[in-house]
Structure 1
């Protein structure tokens, strides 16, 4: 058996309604903490769903400030503002409430607020020095898995992004409360759910760090997600389906944090960066075409995943792989999200720029089961057009 290492968050609570007793959870797990900064976005703040959690903290005498200026694909200035907010109040605990953007900013605040390192010094792998503030993550979408990953993505230019990858970014606690996801629109539910499925699929086929723990997490994530995504999309008030999606996204996050994602994400990032397409949708748009490209090298693994997503399918490895691809395409079509790049305003003359940007994602491309050249990347975009 190949040697491997596996890391994840210290603790996970999966319980509908748990945010209402967040204060008691914090008091039990973090002794002598008095100052708490919640990191979220203005849209989520307006829903009122944060109020029970905030009240449960203040009722215990904690000083709670809310930083709600996070935006999608957060730029550096948002991170800097959040860090200043934490320093100004002398925060002792950071709580991320939201999708991947809010949780990523929360991670960075936790490592930078008490540090003399600048944001620019921690980009890359393993560059965070020292300890961080205690960190709790509470996802409000079932997609990114950011609550259990050691990765944070920052927008550094008009279309460019940088990542911070470090063990200090793992939270102390992830709290999964599906009541927070009940208000998600069907299309957001679909895109974020497919994003989580991509995490599971890519972790299962990751070239270098695939391991027995990540494999089992990826399989169970894909089982939960594939069996519940349509119910969550079509019946958004179904709490059981919502909790299953949240847990599936969390398990997929644990999987890909240890067995990293690959070409689907590498090709999706330029779509999001250049054309401002949401991350989950960007993944969904290129997914079937990357899977077909990879089939010559990963059909045996895709066939195993097909047995989960399409139970009872049979035939050759190639046939079962095609069944997986068809099932993912059918899920996207049934949910009503866009399935072609041209629906996002992307045209044939944009493909060269997309391919050029995709080839810059070397950290991700190196995990792909099949090597991708620039001409390959362009051909995949052309197939998705």
Structure 2
């Protein structure tokens, strides 16, 4: 038996309408709560139920709504300044992965006073954070249960802060907050969650463990069974809640058995061309699967029936080909772009993307097959 560690959020509140239970967490968050979100989520009214619950419980609130996709360092610094000026005693993040990532760092930096540039990487955090609660409004990133925050540094480079200190005190999963999510975003974030499960299951991290692998399988079962319904009928609460749960389980899986080449190749696409993270993953996923198949084909065949139940009766070769083919066809069936050129990436940019991907050593080290610079460029060519 291998030795491993598994860490996750100590409290999870889940179910449609569960945002009404935010008052149960008011004592944890304290009397002055900074709410971190983005302008679209605030204007859609998704933050208001939480604000009402906190005020009813006697808390003061301040809203930072300046989060943008692929948040730059300046956004983190502005949110921390607001937290300090307000005298925040706790942080509540509501929104997509970017908002939750910003909330994590605000909770940390407002309490510890550490410099952001000193904590990039794994295990660099030395201080403590403020109490933290995270509420996702998309079913994709799993950020509400991961010890990771991604920041855009400089013009287009993405860096991660990875520390167990970033795991929140509680996560709240309310499908009602995802009802207004457009079909394309639902599809891309859902595939993002599938990538988390697949890469966690096949990761060669020394901490790949049976708990993460079990969670990855259940995540794929939930996501595969519900993504088409959630995309086609966004008001289906059961499908929406299942997608949230699947994304969270995938998040728990990769929080402990880290992701690999799909993410490494997706980051430059998002950083340089501002393609949403889930879609960036979706664009390179089939091509990384084909590249990795010779190294982890058995793992893909094991996962195949969870995502595509009709493959349960297939032989090993049929499962492997069906798994890769199914994930190749899924984005098109969900009306997502399937080629890099469809999202405005010119062919002459591929060598630079490959160079940028090779800088993601934190992720590439977990891939089941070693990726060279030439391999990365070839994968981008296949995706173009």
TM more than 0.5 = yes
Partner Cα distance (2:180, 2:346) in 1: 34
Shift of 1:130: 2.4
Partner Cα distance (1:234, 1:47) in 2: 21
Partner Cα distance (1:213, 1:142) in 2: 21
Partner Cα distance (2:25, 2:110) in 1: 23
Q: How is 1:270-309 mapped onto 2 (pairs within 5 angstroms)? A: 270-309=268-307
Listed one character per residue, the Cα deviations across residues 49-81 of structure 1 (whole Å, up to 9, x for unaligned) are 211110111112211111101111111111001
Shift of 1:316: 4.6
Listed one character per residue, the Cα deviations across residues 159-188 of structure 1 (whole Å, up to 9, x for unaligned) are 111110011000000000010000000000
Determine whether 1:36 maps to 2:33: yes
Partner Cα distance (1:316, 1:15) in 2: 38
**Of 90, 112, 124, the match for 1:127:** 124
Q: Which residue of 2 aligns with 1:224?
A: 222
Shift of 1:274: 1.2
Q: Which residue of 1 aligns with 2:87?
A: 90
**Of 160, 163, 168, the match for 1:166:** 163
Partner Cα distance (1:158, 1:320) in 2: 42
User: Could you tell me whether the CA contact under 8 Å between 1:299 and 1:317 is conserved in 2?
Assistant: no
Which is further off, 72-81 or 111-120? 111-120
Which is further off, 2-11 or 305-314? 305-314
Partner Cα distance (2:317, 2:335) in 1: 27
Listed one character per residue, the Cα deviations across residues 208-228 of structure 1 (whole Å, up to 9, x for unaligned) are 221100001100000000000
User: Could you tell me whether the CA contact under 8 Å between 2:131 and 2:168 is conserved in 1?
Assistant: yes
Q: Which residue of 2 aligns with 1:255?
A: 253
Q: How is 1:136-215 mapped onto 2 (pairs within 5 angstroms)? A: 136-208=133-205, 209-215=207-213
Partner Cα distance (1:77, 1:109) in 2: 12
User: Could you tell me whether the CA contact under 8 Å between 1:199 and 1:253 is conserved in 2?
Assistant: yes
Secondary structure in structure 1 of the residue aligned to 2:37: strand
Which is further off, 37-46 or 325-334? 325-334
**Of 31, 38, 45, the match for 2:42:** 45
Q: How is 1:5-84 mapped onto 2 (pairs within 5 angstroms)? A: 5-27=5-27, 30=28, 33-84=30-81
Secondary structure in structure 2 of the residue aligned to 1:113: helix
Listed one character per residue, the Cα deviations across residues 78-116 of structure 1 (whole Å, up to 9, x for unaligned) are 100110111111111100000111000100011110223
Partner Cα distance (2:86, 2:33) in 1: 9
How many residues in Structure 1 have an aligned counterpart in Structure 2?
Answer: 382
Shift of 1:315: 4.5
Shift of 1:317: 3.2
In structure 2, runs of 5+ residues without a counterpart are none
Compute the TM-score of the two structures, normalised by the length of structure 1. Answer: 0.97
Which is further off, 228-237 or 112-121? 112-121
User: Could you tell me whether the CA contact under 8 Å between 1:153 and 1:164 is conserved in 2?
Assistant: yes
Partner Cα distance (1:283, 1:124) in 2: 21
Determine whether 1:238 maps to 2:236: yes
Secondary structure in structure 1 of the residue aligned to 2:309: coil
Partner Cα distance (1:341, 1:43) in 2: 27
Partner Cα distance (1:115, 1:170) in 2: 15
User: Could you tell me whether the CA contact under 8 Å between 2:26 and 2:57 is conserved in 1?
Assistant: no
Q: Which residue of 1 aligns with 2:352?
A: 353
User: Could you tell me whether the CA contact under 8 Å between 2:32 and 2:87 is conserved in 1?
Assistant: yes
User: Could you tell me whether the CA contact under 8 Å between 2:93 and 2:134 is conserved in 1?
Assistant: yes
Q: Which residue of 2 aligns with 1:322?
A: 321
Which is further off, 351-360 or 176-185? 351-360
Which is further off, 289-298 or 116-125? 116-125
Shift of 1:20: 2.0
User: Could you tell me whether the CA contact under 8 Å between 1:295 and 1:318 is conserved in 2?
Assistant: no
Secondary structure in structure 2 of the residue aligned to 1:380: helix
Shift of 1:312: 3.6
Partner Cα distance (1:79, 1:349) in 2: 33
Secondary structure in structure 1 of the residue aligned to 2:111: coil
User: Could you tell me whether the CA contact under 8 Å between 1:206 and 1:261 is conserved in 2?
Assistant: yes
Compute the TM-score of the two structures, normalised by the length of structure 2. Answer: 0.97
Partner Cα distance (1:317, 1:280) in 2: 29
Partner Cα distance (1:353, 1:378) in 2: 9
In structure 1, runs of 5+ residues without a counterpart are none
